[in-house]
């Protein structure tokens, strides 16, 4: 028994019988956690779909006020970050330390870029009085011509006052969903920072890739949530 | 027991005698529900007796003293099947029986007389069609189907009459209904059973069931002089609804005569039945419920009319079966000059003035 | 009495608590607060949930005292509302949900599957810290004035109509939810990936199966509650949201989301309790559990069906009649696996060799009370009778029969069953048997009258009630007093036993689970070497052969 313990690689936790078991268990745990996250976002998606069904015109016209350009850019940024992270995992598996650090740093930067762009978009909503509860006015929807750039593109019909109020509902869900997603990004970036430090010290290029790989799962998952948010919030019924 | 004072003794005896163990059955549905209740009590007792009998019998027969060596048994598919299928069968009987009663309670007969109930923190406001208003009381005649249409002004409430075995939540923003036919004159408890804030336990009252003669007398003595529809008519006029909803061919709003219960095609192509729920929505949130062919210009009345007011308006519209009533409303109120309204909504070819 | 008991203690003159065990391995506060050992975390959990149980219990006492008289004279209505809300929140989220899984489950599951620890020890510790944080926020909520939404947080009452501390209470439940998610996640991973050689799925003790089923519910259900609470808190802070109809929301959406978690939550609470009962009944009748596969699969069936019955809390809330029909039918289906379990336990006794130690008394009490609790569930699942009985004391009684009569009895059975393993010492048998009987009597006296009150129509959550209901309420309050004594006794004698109890030895009950084949209290690593499972669960003949071998070798 004692000699077996001495053969353990240093990263194997004492209560696991083998590295394979450790990897299996933590990997499985990560998938379960993601399942939990699916249910968590599921509640938000349900609320969104019901409200959209009820207040369809308000949701359509409110979605016109999001910036397709920034939304698409952000999607691209996020997908690229997933790619760089996947490359990072590959580097870790093939024990390329500098490659790993480079990929992680790239991912880190792309994550920050995503958040910055998200910040720009939120700021635009703040300027346009589209922040529910804090700074909101439905004037843009009662009289769409007030915002000529958007009016030129979509020729929105004026919403009746009752329906125009419901655009606040859209922006409530927009902020709740993108905010919850951004929160996950922030958590992800913090963990990424920690991983970069460890990777720099060479912790993941000696055969121990579990942590990087599991973090990758999380990062891809957050990415996938965005892949659902983007069409739901920005794209559908763009042109009716 | 001699040291217990006789006063206390009497008090105790009286106290115990006034403790009912079963609620009165005062509606047609009550005996039906109690039948199911007792069926369920019966199967519960049988089940419980069986379990207790098995446990006690085995405990005695196979206690370590009598039966020092256990016999290992794997299980028995036959027994498993038995105690899967028999309970399942019983539960399904309960399900079907329960569903029959449920559908009966929540499907009012067409000839039921309708009473509106508005719940708010912390009182029940009852609006009779004849214009009788009650708070925390409900007077109903014996032997007649009564439908309650419930809505809440603020939070969830629940209208419960244990003696009738009926209960329905009053929900903010939508109508629910329940019906009953009282069978025994008397006064019964009325509770709010859904927790609704600080005064939840004060939101109680009485349901008074009266013989038809007494009921008629009560109706006559407690009327406010105006029926619910008349209240609605007054509100209709004071909100100037008739500026648009008149019978003129060039009217900007649809004609409301006979609209209650009819099929309407909406702006977005949907077909709806113009029932109380739809009319409420159309008043409070008109833009989403505009009738086909009319511009969605009606302002919202959300927050401007109480649920009680909405009920009055609906009752008014429900009673508009001929154009005559609407004409009367029009005649008693000042209409804006016809010319002005025309400039706002030009309707070529329909300029003929019909209103004398 | 000696022949009527299976308790097999080592010779008191020579017996010693093993010097090296998980309690003595390291000393100092930090060694506890930073531990990764599942047994130490279970101990921390046991202490903390006991603390919250007695806070919740004290609140329950206040409720019963207030209801002694029809008027609201002990407390004003708003105080009463806060008291029952805090009672519900604390008992459900800080006691019932973590009770068996986080204490007993945490303690025995790794040993039962033959592992050194749970798969994720740090996550396990994190889960305890989250629990403590949640408890702290809950106590803070109480300190600054409490909350009076009812434990159900019903919108729009909670979002706009109350000015109490809804946000901090919601936050506490949110955090407690994540504590519970992490426990569930850890169990699932451990059961899947950490089983020792030879430990196939159908050799797992039924306690493991039950906790596995409950863990699935925790992992899938709790996040929905979390997001619902986030939406409630947002709606309350910025006055726009998806629940209040005055702002264009749908209050029924709240009900759907809330009960999507909170119905499965009752299975989260009861399933681990059922697992305890399987272990106890088998051990004290010296016989394998009758129909092992049926009992195992009935747990999973409850978990699966449990997800599709939530709308039976909404039968009178204006969901469509046909939706009510479907949910009623599914509710009837979820009742069947519970019936299967009850009968299998009863038949486990058949041809056994039964003794009646304290855990067994609690387990038998569980069977009776749970049968009543389960059957009254049918009254509420059948749509017709639900109209009359829902939102009355009938529901209160039903819920307490299942949760207190069922779950708490099972928890106490489990604590008494594994106490010798946990501490290495026995508690005084006669007093504990007496406490079990007192609990049973007190419980029935407290909650049975409430069924009648419910049938009479007395609404729940009333600070004042019509005088005609007083007699039954007085009985109920009297019962609660007895019940309180029944719950205090174990705390006293179990604490006493920590120092003065007889040495238990490794297997006082002659039970077959792997956790009994190691020393008491166990080593930090549980086993000196990883066991190899070469027999079925509950194989008492294997145990006898094993003991015969040991005697021969000595």
Write down the ipTM of this complex. Answer: 0.92
The answer, yes or no, to whether residue B326 has pLDDT greater than 80, is no
- Pairwise CB contact (< 8 Å): C285 & B99: no
Q: Which residue has the higher pLDDT, C180 or B275?
A: C180
Nearest CB among A55, A159, A162 relative to B286 is that of A162
Helices marked H in B62-118: 77-105
Phi then psi for residue B306, to 5 deg, are: -70, 165
What integer is the mean pLDDT of A225-238?
A: 89
C-alpha torsion C500→C506→C510→C516, nearest 10: 120
The answer, yes or no, to whether residue A237 has pLDDT greater than 80, is no
Distance from CA of B111 to the nearest CA of C (A): 21
Query: What is the DSSP code string of B296-339?
Result: S-PPP-TTTS-HHHHHHHHHHHHT--SHHHHHHHHHHSPPPPHH
What percent of chain A lies above the pLDDT cut of 70? 96
Q: Which residue of A has its CA nearest to C238?
A: A133
Quick one: pLDDT at residue B300? 79
Q: Which CATH architecture has domain B23-58+80-225?
A: Sandwich (2.60)
Quick one: pLDDT at residue C4? 67
- Pairwise CB contact (< 8 Å): C452 & B21: yes
Q: If contacts are CB pairs under 8 Å, which of residues 42-81 in chain B contact chain C?
A: 43-44, 47-48, 51-52, 54-55, 58-59, 62-65, 67-76, 79-80
**B296 interaction partners in chain A (CB closer than 8 Å):** 160
* Cβ atoms < 10 Å from Cβ of B35: 13
- Pairwise CB contact (< 8 Å): C352 & B62: yes
C288 CB near a chain B CB, below 8 Å?
A: yes
Distance from CA of A59 to the nearest CA of B (A): 13
Pick the CATH number of A18-235 from 3.40.50.720, 1.20.120.80, 3.90.550.10, 3.40.1190.20: 1.20.120.80
Q: If contacts are CB pairs under 8 Å, which of residues 472-491 in chain C contact chain B?
A: 472
Residue C308: both structure tokens together: 């599709």
Query: What is the DSSP code string of C340-379?
Result: HHHHHHHHHSTT--B---HHHHHHHHHHHHHHHHHHHHHH
Q: How many CB pairs under 8 A join B and C?
A: 302
Q: What is the pLDDT of residues B94-104, one digit of tens each?
A: 999 999 999 99
Q: What is the pLDDT of residues B165-208, one digit of tens each?
A: 999 999 998 899 999 999 999 999 999 999 999 999 999 999 99
Helix (H, G, I), strand (E, B) or coil at C462: coil
Distance from CA of C516 to the nearest CA of A (A): 20
Distance from CA of C331 to the nearest CA of B (A): 9
Q: Which residue has the higher pLDDT, A142 or B36?
A: B36
When pLDDT is cut at 50, 70 and 90, the band that residue A14 belongs to is: confident
The burial of A123, by beta-carbon neighbours within 10 Å (0-12 exposed, 13-18 middle, 19 or more buried), is given as exposed
Quick one: pLDDT at residue B338? 41
Three-state SS annotation for B8-49: HHHHHHHHHHCCCCCCCCCECHHHHHHHHHHHHHHHHHHHHH
Q: Which residue of A has its CA nearest to B288?
A: A163
Q: Which residue of A has its CA nearest to B297?
A: A160
Three-state SS annotation for B214-270: HHHHHHHHHCCCCCHHHHHHHHHHHCCHHHCCCCCCCCCCCCCCCCCCCEEEECCCC
What integer is the mean pLDDT of C475-483?
A: 94
Quick one: pLDDT at residue B356? 34
Nearest CB among C221, C240, C250 relative to A168 is that of C240
Among A17-26, B33-42, C78-87, the minimum mean pLDDT is found in: A17-26
Best CA proximity match to C356, nearest among C452, C437, C259: C437
The answer, yes or no, to whether residue C378 has pLDDT greater than 50, is yes
Q: Which residue of A has its CA nearest to C123?
A: A29
- For chain A, the structural domain boundaries read 18-235
Average pLDDT over all residues of chain B: 85
Q: What is the pLDDT of residues C19-70, one digit of tens each?
A: 889 988 888 888 899 998 999 999 999 999 999 999 999 999 999 999 999 9
Q: Which chains touch B (3+ CB pairs under 8 A)?
A: A, C
Residue B225, sorted as left (phi over 0), alpha (psi -120 to 50) or beta, turns out to be: left
What integer is the mean pLDDT of A207-211?
A: 85
The answer, yes or no, to whether residue A207 has pLDDT greater than 70, is yes
The answer, yes or no, to whether residue B268 has pLDDT greater than 80, is no
Nearest CB among C118, C186, C242 relative to A47 is that of C242
Adjacent-strand bridge partners of B208: B139, B187
Quick one: pLDDT at residue C37? 93
Nearest CB among A55, A159, A162 relative to B302 is that of A162
**A32 interaction partners in chain C (CB closer than 8 Å):** 185, 188-189, 219
Q: Which residue has the higher pLDDT, B289 or B323?
A: B289
Q: Which residue of B has its CA nearest to A163?
A: B287
Q: Which residue has the higher pLDDT, C437 or B289?
A: C437
Average pLDDT over all residues of chain C: 93
- Pairwise CB contact (< 8 Å): C123 & A134: no
What integer is the mean pLDDT of A112-137?
A: 91
- Pairwise CB contact (< 8 Å): C248 & A169: yes
Best CA proximity match to B173, nearest among B186, B156, B190: B156
The answer, yes or no, to whether residue C230 has pLDDT greater than 80, is yes
Rounded to an integer, what distance in angstroms lies between the CA atom of residue B321 and that of residue B4? 72
Rounded to an integer, what distance in angstroms lies between the CA atom of residue A85 and that of residue A81? 6
When pLDDT is cut at 50, 70 and 90, the band that residue B3 belongs to is: low
When pLDDT is cut at 50, 70 and 90, the band that residue C1 belongs to is: very low
Q: What is the pLDDT of residues A48-106, one digit of tens each?
A: 999 998 888 889 888 988 889 999 999 999 999 999 999 999 999 998 999 999 999 99
What percent of chain C lies above the pLDDT cut of 90? 83
What integer is the mean pLDDT of B121-149?
A: 93
Nearest CB among B44, B74, B99 relative to C325 is that of B99
Q: Which residue of A has its CA nearest to B286?
A: A162
Q: Which of A53, A138, A162, A166 to substitute to test the interface with B, most B CBs within 10 Å?
A: A162
The answer, yes or no, to whether residue C548 has pLDDT greater than 80, is yes
Nearest CB among A43, A50, A51 relative to C227 is that of A43
Nearest CB among C121, C237, C240 relative to A15 is that of C121
Residue C115 belongs to what domain range?
A: 2-553
CATH number at residue C211: 1.20.210.10
Q: How many residues does chain B have?
A: 356
Distance from CA of B248 to the nearest CA of C (A): 34
Q: Which of A28, A29, A130, A173 to substitute to test the interface with C, most C CBs within 10 Å?
A: A29
Q: What is the pLDDT of residues C335-368, one digit of tens each?
A: 999 999 999 999 999 999 999 999 999 999 999 9
What integer is the mean pLDDT of C414-433?
A: 94
What integer is the mean pLDDT of C123-130?
A: 96
Helix (H, G, I), strand (E, B) or coil at A50: helix
Q: Which residue of C has its CA nearest to A4?
A: C529
Q: Which CATH architecture has domain B228-335?
A: Orthogonal Bundle (1.10)
- Torsion sign (Cα): C212, C215, C221, C224: negative
The answer, yes or no, to whether residue B337 has pLDDT greater than 50, is no
The answer, yes or no, to whether residue C298 has pLDDT greater than 70, is yes
Adjacent-strand bridge partners of B170: B157
- Pairwise CB contact (< 8 Å): B286 & A163: no
The answer, yes or no, to whether residue B349 has pLDDT greater than 50, is no
Q: What is the pLDDT of residues B50-84, one digit of tens each?
A: 999 999 999 999 999 998 888 988 889 999 999 99
The burial of C282, by beta-carbon neighbours within 10 Å (0-12 exposed, 13-18 middle, 19 or more buried), is given as buried
Quick one: pLDDT at residue C108? 95
Q: Which of A4, A15, A55 to substitute to test the interface with C, most C CBs within 10 Å?
A: A15
Distance from CA of A61 to the nearest CA of B (A): 15
Q: What is the DSSP letter of B290?
A: P
* Number of compact structural domains in chain C: 1
The answer, yes or no, to whether residue B296 has pLDDT greater than 80, is no
Quick one: pLDDT at residue C12? 82
CB B27 within 8 A of CB B143: no
Nearest CB among A32, A134, A166 relative to C238 is that of A134
**A160 interaction partners in chain C (CB closer than 8 Å):** none
Q: What is the pLDDT of residues A179-194, one digit of tens each?
A: 999 999 999 999 999 9
Q: Which residue of C has its CA nearest to B70?
A: C352
């Amino acid at each position: 028994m004692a000699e077996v313990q001495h053969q353990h690689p240093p990263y194997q936790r004492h209560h696991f019988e083998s590295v394979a078991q450790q990897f299996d268990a933590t990997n499985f745990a990560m998938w379960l956690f993601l399942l939990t996250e699916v249910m968590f976002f599921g509640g938000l998606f349900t609320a969104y779909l019901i409200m959209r069904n009820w207040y369809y015109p308000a949701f359509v016209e409110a979605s016109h006020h999001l910036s397709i350009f920034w939304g698409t850019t952000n999607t691209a940024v996020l997908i690229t970050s997933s790619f760089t992270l996947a490359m990072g995992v590959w580097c870790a598996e093939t024990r390329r330390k500098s490659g790993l650090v480079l990929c992680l740093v790239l991912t880190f930067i792309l994550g920050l870029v995503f958040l910055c762009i998200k910040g720009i978009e939120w700021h635009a909503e703040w300027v346009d009085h589209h922040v529910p509860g804090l700074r909101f006015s439905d004037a843009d929807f009662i009289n769409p011509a007030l915002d000529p750039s958007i009016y030129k593109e979509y020729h929105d019909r004026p919403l009746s006052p009752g329906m125009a109020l419901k655009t606040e509902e859209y922006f409530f869900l927009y902020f709740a969903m993108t905010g919850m997603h951004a929160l996950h990004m922030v958590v992800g970036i913090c963990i990424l920072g920690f991983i970069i430090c460890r990777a720099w010290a060479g912790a993941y290029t000696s055969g121990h890739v579990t942590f990087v790989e599991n973090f990758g799962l999380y990062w891809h998952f957050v990415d996938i949530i965005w892949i659902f948010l983007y069409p739901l919030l920005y794209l559908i019924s763009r042109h009716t | 027991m001699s040291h217990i004072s006789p006063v206390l003794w009497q008090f105790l005896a009286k106290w115990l005698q006034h403790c009912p163990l079963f609620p009165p059955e005062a509606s047609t549905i009550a005996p039906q529900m109690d039948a199911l209740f007792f069926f369920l009590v019966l199967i519960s007792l049988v089940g419980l007796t069986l379990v207790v009998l098995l446990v006690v019998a085995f405990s005695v027969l196979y206690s370590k003293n009598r039966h020092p060596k256990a016999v290992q048994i794997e299980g028995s598919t036959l027994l498993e099947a038995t105690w899967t299928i028999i309970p399942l069968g019983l539960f399904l009987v309960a399900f079907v029986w329960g569903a029959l009663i449920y559908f009966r309670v929540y499907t009012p007969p067409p000839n039921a007389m309708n009473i509106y109930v508005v719940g708010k923190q912390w009182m029940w406001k009852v609006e009779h069609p004849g214009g009788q208003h009650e708070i925390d009381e409900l007077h109903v005649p014996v032997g007649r189907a009564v439908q309650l249409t419930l809505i809440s002004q603020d939070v969830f409430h629940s209208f419960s009459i244990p003696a009738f075995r009926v209960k329905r939540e009053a929900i903010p923003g939508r109508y629910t209904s329940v019906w009953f036919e009282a069978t025994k004159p008397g006064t019964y408890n009325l509770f709010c059973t859904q927790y609704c804030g600080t005064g939840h336990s004060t939101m109680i009252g009485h349901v008074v069931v009266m013989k038809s003669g007494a009921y008629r007398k009560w109706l006559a003595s407690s009327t406010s002089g105006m029926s619910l529809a008349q209240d609605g008519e007054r509100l209709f006029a004071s909100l100037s609804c008739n500026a648009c909803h008149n019978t003129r061919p060039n009217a900007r709003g649809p004609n409301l005569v006979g609209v209650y219960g009819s099929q309407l095609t909406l702006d977005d192509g949907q077909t709806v039945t113009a029932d109380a729920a739809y009319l409420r929505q159309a008043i409070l949130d008109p833009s989403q419920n505009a009738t086909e062919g009319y511009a969605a210009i009606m302002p919202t009345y959300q927050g401007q009319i109480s649920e009680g007011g909405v009920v009055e308006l609906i009752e008014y519209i429900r009673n508009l079966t001929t154009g005559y009533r609407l004409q009367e409303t029009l005649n008693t109120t000042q209409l804006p000059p016809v010319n002005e309204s025309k400039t706002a909504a030009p309707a070529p070819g329909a300029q003929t003035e019909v209103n004398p | 009495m000696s022949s009527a008991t299976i308790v097999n203690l080592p010779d008191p003159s020579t017996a010693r608590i093993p010097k090296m065990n998980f309690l003595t391995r390291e000393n100092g506060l930090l060694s506890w607060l930073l531990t990764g050992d599942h047994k130490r975390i279970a101990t921390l959990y046991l202490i903390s949930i006991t603390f919250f149980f007695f806070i919740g219990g004290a609140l329950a006492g206040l409720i019963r005292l207030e209801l002694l008289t029809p008027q609201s004279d002990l407390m004003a209505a708003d105080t009463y509302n806060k008291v029952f809300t805090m009672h519900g929140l604390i008992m459900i989220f800080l006691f019932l949900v973590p009770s068996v899984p986080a204490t007993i489950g945490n303690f025995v599951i790794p040993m039962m599957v033959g592992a050194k620890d749970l798969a994720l020890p740090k996550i396990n510790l994190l889960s305890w810290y989250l629990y403590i944080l949640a408890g702290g926020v809950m106590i803070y909520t109480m300190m600054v004035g409490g909350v009076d939404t009812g434990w159900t947080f019903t919108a729009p009452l909670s979002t706009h109509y109350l000015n109490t501390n809804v946000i901090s209470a919601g936050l506490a439940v949110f955090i407690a939810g994540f504590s519970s998610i992490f426990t569930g996640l850890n169990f699932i991973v451990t059961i899947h990936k950490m089983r020792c050689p030879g430990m196939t799925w159908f050799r797992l003790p039924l306690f493991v199966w039950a906790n596995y089923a409950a863990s699935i519910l925790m992992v899938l259900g709790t996040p929905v509650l979390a997001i619902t609470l986030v939406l409630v808190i947002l709606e309350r802070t910025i006055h726009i949201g998806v629940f209040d109809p005055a702002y264009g929301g749908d209050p029924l959406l709240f009900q759907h989301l809330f009960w999507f978690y909170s119905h499965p939550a009752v299975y989260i609470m009861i399933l681990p309790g059922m697992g305890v009962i399987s272990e106890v009944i088998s051990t004290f009748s010296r016989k394998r559990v009758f129909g092992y596969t049926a009992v195992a699969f009935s747990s999973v069936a409850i978990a699966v069906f449990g997800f599709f019955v939530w709308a039976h809390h909404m039968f009178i809330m204006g969901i469509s009649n046909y939706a009510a029909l479907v949910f009623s039918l599914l509710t009837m289906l979820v009742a069947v696996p519970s019936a299967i379990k009850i009968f299998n336990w009863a038949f486990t006794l058949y041809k056994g060799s039964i003794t009646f130690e304290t855990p067994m008394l609690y387990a038998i009490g569980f069977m009776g009370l749970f049968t009543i609790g389960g059957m009254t569930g049918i009254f509420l699942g059948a749509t017709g009778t639900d109209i009359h009985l829902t939102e009355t004391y009938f529901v209160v009684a039903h819920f307490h029969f299942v949760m207190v009569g069922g779950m708490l009895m099972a928890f106490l059975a489990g604590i008494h069953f594994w106490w010798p393993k946990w501490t290495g010492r026995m508690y005084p048998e006669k007093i504990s048997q007496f406490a079990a009987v007192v609990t049973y009597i007190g419980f029935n006296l407290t909650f049975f009258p409430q069924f009648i009150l419910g049938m009479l129509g007395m609404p729940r959550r009333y600070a004042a009630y019509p005088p005609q209901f007083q007699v039954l309420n007085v009985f109920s309050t009297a019962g609660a007093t007895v019940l309180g004594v029944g719950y205090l006794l174990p705390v006293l004698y179990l604490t006493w036993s920590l120092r003065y109890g007889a040495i238990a030895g490794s297997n006082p009950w002659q039970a077959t689970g792997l956790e009994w084949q190691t020393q008491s209290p166990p080593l930090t690593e549980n086993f000196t070497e990883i066991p190899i499972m070469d027999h079925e669960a509950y194989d008492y003949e294997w145990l006898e052969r094993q003991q015969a071998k040991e005697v021969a070798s000595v």
